[in-house]
A and B are shown apart, each in its own frame.
Chain A
Amino acid sequence: MSGLKYSDQVIVSAFRGPWTLLKKELLRFWRVAFQTIAAPVITALLYLLIFSHVLESHVQVYDGVPYTAFLIPGLIMMSVLQNAFANSSSSLIQSKVMGNLVFVLLTPLTHLQFFLAFLIAAIIRGMVVGLCIYLVAMWFVDLQLANPWMIIAFALLGSALLGTFGIIAGIWADRFDQMAAFQNFIIMPLSFLSGVFYSIHSLPPFWQKVSQLNPFFYMIDGFRYGFFGKGDVSPLISLSIVGASFLVLAWITLRMLKSGYKLRS
Chain B
Amino acid sequence: MSTIALDRYRQNYLNISYTAKSWLLSTDHKRIGILYMISITLFFFLGGIAAVLFRLELLTPQADLVKAETYNKLFTLHGVIMVWFFLIPSIPSVLGNFLIPLMIGAREVAFPRLNLVSWYLFMLGGLFTFVVLITGGVDTGWTFYTPYSSSFSNSAVVATIFGVFITGFSSIFTGLNFIVTIHKLRAPGMKWSRLPLFIWSHYATSLILVLATPVLAITLGLIAIERVFGVGIFDPALGGDPVLFEHFFWFYSHPAVYIMILPGMGVTSEIIAAFTRRRIFGYTFVAMASLAIAIIGFLVWGHHIFVGGQSAYASAVFSGLSYMVAIPSAVKVFNWTATLYKGSISFDTPMLYALGFIWLFTIGGLTGLFVASLAIDVHVHDTYFVIAHFHYIMVGASVMAYLGGIHYWWPKLSGRMYPEGWGRAAALLIFFGFNLTFFPQFLLGYMGMPRRYHVYAEEFQVLNVMSTAGASILAVGYLLPLAYLLWSLRTGSIAIASPWGASGLEWQTGSPPPMENFEEIPIVTEEAYTYRPESS
A binds B: no
B: which residues have CB within 8 A of A?
A: none
